[in-house]
Amino acid sequence: MKSTRKVEVDPTVQQLFDLTGKTALITGGTGFLGRSLASALAEAGARVIVCSTSQERAESLAHQLTDPNSIGHLGLALNHMNEAGIDQAINSLQDKVSHIDILVNNGHEANPKDWTTVNGEEFTRQLANATGYFLLARRIRNLAVEANKSASILLLGSMYGLVASYPDCYDEICPASPPGYHALKGGIIHLTRHLAVYWAQDQVRVNCISPGPFPSDLAPEKLKARLVERVPLKRIGQPSELKGAVVYLASDASSYVTGHNLVVDGGWTAW
Ligand SMILES: NC(=O)c1ccc[n+]([C@@H]2O[C@H](COP(=O)([O-])OP(=O)(O)OC[C@H]3O[C@@H](n4cnc5c(N)ncnc54)[C@H](OP(=O)(O)O)[C@@H]3O)[C@@H](O)[C@H]2O)c1
């Protein structure tokens, strides 16, 4: 007897990672890692909304991104430390973008002071980056629910949200990693889990990417050398080494993954 069962055809790997037809918004898109993350989303086919606190910088990078589907990337001024500003920025997209499928909360207002010098106001201000990540994530989740669509939300954590820094890496070179940064990134990793659970029923996945040591060219050479000593792979990370992680978590390749913290650290947290 002939079977009447419908044969499901597995999507190919290319289809799973393809972001054609999706719109992705990334904060801090002009930053050291943000540029590679934004490029990865564009190369995978997404329309990218590059955010910066400066409209000019955002537009400049948006125009530089590859555009395989000729859809036109956008630049958007967005300061995630300003609640009203987040809403205004997203509202301003209404006539230009029908839906935001992917959010990458990557921007970060930094404060380099370590535990010896930071004051209470500065510590609290650094934690407010998490408030911005949450408010923007909730706005994108609400828009997805209103449109009856799914969404993938990514938050940037850090290896320093999982482990303490080694004091001797910084000793006599520069201030140690800021205590507010550790509190912030540990909080972001856990915020990811909380939101993932509440929003799973809405088909909104929430995941975190935690980079390890990716110091920019501005970091002191001595510091980089000390960091390298602590990495099992014996080198610092290149921004392009985050491209696979962001496309994986943004795309259907990770359709059954939510609440996860994907660590990309050359093995730093493995020992
Ligand atoms: N590099 C590393 O080793 C490393 C390691 C672990 C985690 N991370 C995380 O990865 C993310 C990117 O880091 P990065 O190294 O690329 O730093 P970065 O070069 O300083 O980029 C961060 C970007 O955030 C934007 N920004 C600043 N204040 C903002 C605000 N109030 N609202 C929205 N955006 C704001 C800035 O862009 P504009 O000035 O154009 O607005 C800046 O370029 C951060 O969340 C960081 O904590 C980095």
Mutate-to-test residue for ligand 1 from 33, 56, 268, highest number of ligand atoms within 8 A of CB? 33
Looking at residue 169, its pLDDT comes to 96
Which structural domain range is residue 239 located in? 13-270
Q: How far apart are CA 152 and CA 258, in angstroms?
A: 9
Q: Count of CB atoms within 10 A of residue 59's CB?
A: 18
pLDDT band for 3, please (50, 70, 90 cuts): low
Looking at residue 165, its pLDDT comes to 97
pLDDT band for 2, please (50, 70, 90 cuts): low
Q: Where are the beta strands (DSSP E) in the chain?
A: 23-26, 47-52, 74-77, 102-105, 151-156, 204-211, 261-264
Phi and psi at residue 143, to the nearest 5°: -65, -40
Write out pLDDT tens, residues 113-165.
999 999 999 999 999 999 999 999 999 999 999 999 999 999 999 999 999 99
Q: How many Å is the maximal CA-CA distance in the chain?
A: 79
User: Is 70 contained in some domain?
Assistant: yes
Task: Identify the residue whose C-alpha is closest to ligand 1 atom 34.
Answer: 107
Instruction: Give the SS3 label for residue 80.
Output: coil
Q: Count of CB atoms within 10 A of residue 203's CB?
A: 15
CA 100 to ligand 1 centroid distance, Å? 21
Task: Identify the residue whose C-alpha is closest to ligand 1 atom 11.
Answer: 106
Task: Please tell me if the CB atom of residue 142 comes closer than 6 angstroms to any atom of ligand 1.
Answer: no
Whether the per-residue pLDDT at 1 is higher than 70: the answer is no
The minimum-distance atom of ligand 1 relative to the CA of 80 is 32
CA 145 to ligand 1 centroid distance, Å? 28
Write out pLDDT tens, residues 34-56.
999 999 999 999 999 999 999 99
User: Is 1 contained in some domain?
Assistant: no
Q: Which residues of 149-176 are buried (b: 16+ CB within 10 A; e: fewer)?
A: eebbbbbbbbbbbbeebeeebbeebeeb
Task: Please tell me if the CB atom of residue 207 comes closer than 6 angstroms to any atom of ligand 1.
Answer: no
User: Is 173 contained in some domain?
Assistant: yes
Q: How far apart are CA 45 and CA 54, in angstroms?
A: 25
User: Is 6 contained in some domain?
Assistant: no
Which residue type sits at 216? Answer: S
Range 10-29 average pLDDT: 98
CATH number for the domain harbouring residue 168: 3.40.50.720
User: Is 191 contained in some domain?
Assistant: yes
In the block, tokens 């380099």 appear at 112
Task: Please tell me if the CB atom of residue 177 comes closer than 6 angstroms to any atom of ligand 1.
Answer: no
Task: Please tell me if the CB atom of residue 31 comes closer than 6 angstroms to any atom of ligand 1.
Answer: yes
Write out pLDDT tens, residues 81-112.
999 999 999 999 999 999 999 999 999 999 99
Write out pLDDT tens, residues 233-266.
999 999 999 999 999 999 999 999 999 999 999 9
Task: Please tell me if the CB atom of residue 27 comes closer than 6 angstroms to any atom of ligand 1.
Answer: yes
Task: Identify the residue whose C-alpha is closest to ligand 1 atom 20.
Answer: 31
Mutate-to-test residue for ligand 1 from 25, 90, 108, highest number of ligand atoms within 8 A of CB? 108
In this structure, what token pair is assigned to residue 24?
């992705």
Write out pLDDT tens, residues 165-195.
999 999 999 999 999 999 999 999 999 999 9
pLDDT band for 7, please (50, 70, 90 cuts): confident
Looking at residue 4, its pLDDT comes to 64
Q: Are 241 and 15 in contact (CB under 8 A)?
A: no
Q: Are 236 and 213 in contact (CB under 8 A)?
A: yes
Task: With residue 125 as reference, give the H or E element that holds it.
Answer: helix 120-147
pLDDT band for 6, please (50, 70, 90 cuts): confident
Whether the per-residue pLDDT at 9 is higher than 70: the answer is yes
User: Is 2 contained in some domain?
Assistant: no
Which residue type sits at 197? Answer: V
pLDDT band for 205, please (50, 70, 90 cuts): very high
How many domains is the chain built from?
A: 1
Task: Please tell me if the CB atom of residue 202 comes closer than 6 angstroms to any atom of ligand 1.
Answer: no
Task: Please tell me if the CB atom of residue 106 comes closer than 6 angstroms to any atom of ligand 1.
Answer: yes
Task: Please tell me if the CB atom of residue 117 comes closer than 6 angstroms to any atom of ligand 1.
Answer: no
Range 60-78 average pLDDT: 97
User: Is 3 contained in some domain?
Assistant: no
User: Is 185 contained in some domain?
Assistant: yes
Q: How far apart are CA 221 and CA 96, in angstroms?
A: 44
Task: Please tell me if the CB atom of residue 166 comes closer than 6 angstroms to any atom of ligand 1.
Answer: no
